[in-house]
Amino acid sequence: MSRLARHLDRARRQAFSEHSLEPWEFDVLTALRRAGAPYQLSPGQLLTQTLVTSGTMTNRIDRLAKKGLVERLPDPNDRRGVLVRLTEEGRDRADSSLAELLEQERAILAELSPAQQAELANLLRQLTAPFDNVSG
């Protein structure tokens, strides 16, 4: 599993670097993209989705905002809170990086028959389910 993880990580890094993104940047941008229009979440929601500390997330939001990929907005439901919203540039980079990543994953999975791909997907769901159900 470690060997496969290294190959997959290399493919991810290559897909992201072609769009001038680091893997952590992709993770934050795609978390916002998955939220749907208007592509915004609170920093706390981003923490939950990306599994990092609040200090790390603050730093990441700062760096992404500096690059023009996200923007901070006042939270209309909490005077002290903010929302992080994906900019058009951030959405474009997330989408193009995801397309590149999916292309690489398709190439990797092409070695398996459709039945093997379905079996692999089922096994991976079973293996990751305990992690998905852990809170905090």
Domain ranges of the chain: 2-111
In the predicted model, is pLDDT for residue 136 greater than 90? no
Domain range 2-111, CATH class: mainly alpha
Q: Which pLDDT score, from 0 to 100, does residue 134 have? A: 56
Among residues 39, 35, 15, 32, the alpha carbon closest in space to that of 102 is found at 15
- Asked if omega into 38 is within 30° of 0 (cis), the reply is yes
Give the three-state DSSP class for 19: coil
Residue written as token pair 């603050």: 58
Give the three-state DSSP class for 113: coil
pLDDT level of residue 63 (50, 70, 90 thresholds): very high
100-116 pLDDT, tens per residue?
999 988 998 999 999 99
Tokens standing for residue 70: 């996200």
Tokens standing for residue 117: 């791909």
